[in-house]
Amino acid sequence: MPYEVPSGPALRDRLASVLEVVYLVFNEGYAATSGKAWIRPELCSEAMRLGRVLAGLMPGEPEVHGLVAMMEIQASRLRARVGPTGDPVLLADQDRTRWDQLLIRRGLAALELAEALGEAPGPYVLQASIAACHARAPSVDETDWVRIAARYTALALQTPSPVVELNRAVAIGMAFGPAAGLDLVDQLVGDGSLRDYHLLPSVRGDLLAKLGRHDAARSEFRRAAALTRNERERGLLLARPAMCRST
């Protein structure tokens, strides 16, 4: 069979699969699902390299630029995501002066390219827009959480997923209060689709702690620690119950 470069709808269909693979490679580098390291920068670097190659080959595809933008902006935080001993550092505790400003500028430029192409934003452009909100904010409290929540709502309409809904619940909790976020999380608990996903009890524990329900929060953090397969993340989750005051 001769090798033929696809065109038209076939090219778009195959592009979606390629973008998904690059996206998954990056995510595994950004937050490793298992092992002793929380981040694997070499995977992030390779995914960004592939994304830049795709952007050069297909400059008229906004989703390609959107994926590149998302990866560049997210990767800007890698140095701040771990402490001196490799332990995870959550977004709220990160030293933002350690974020790589060059990667942020490159990411924002890629996002501008994607938006300038004039198409309705797809999933990767929406995720890049969310990342850009974080990159532009001087602190967690000064982040435009309402805009982020709206972006996650749009993303959920395009790519319905319980993980997207969990991320939306976090944004809703930050924008409109932890009780609003907890309502959405409890719906996911009832649905059961994320039963074995460690970030569900982790998010629920965080929202419960903000509401002063510390005993319940401790239980959720312990459950999250039991579910994760990443050693560094397990250590972080096991330390969270001690931060909850007794009720």
Q: pLDDT tens digits for 26-65?
A: 999 999 999 999 999 999 999 999 999 999 989 999 999 9
Give the separation between CA 174 and CA 145, rounded to whole angstroms: 6
For the chain, domain boundaries = 11-143
Compute the average pLDDT of residues 103-129: 97
Residue 13 has a pLDDT of: 76
Q: pLDDT tens digits for 141-182?
A: 999 999 999 999 999 999 999 999 999 999 999 999 999 999
Give the separation between CA 18 and CA 192, rounded to whole angstroms: 30
Higher pLDDT: 2 or 207? It is 207
Helix (H) or strand (E) holding 230: strand 229-230
Looking at the chain, the whole-number percentage of residues with pLDDT higher than 70 is: 96
106 phi, psi to nearest 5 deg:
-65, -40
In terms of Cβ atoms closer than 10 Å to its own Cβ (0-12, 13-18, 19+), residue 141 is exposed
Q: What is the mean pLDDT of the chain?
A: 94
Give the separation between CA 73 and CA 128, rounded to whole angstroms: 8
Residue 12 has a pLDDT of: 73
**Whole-structure pTM value:** 0.92
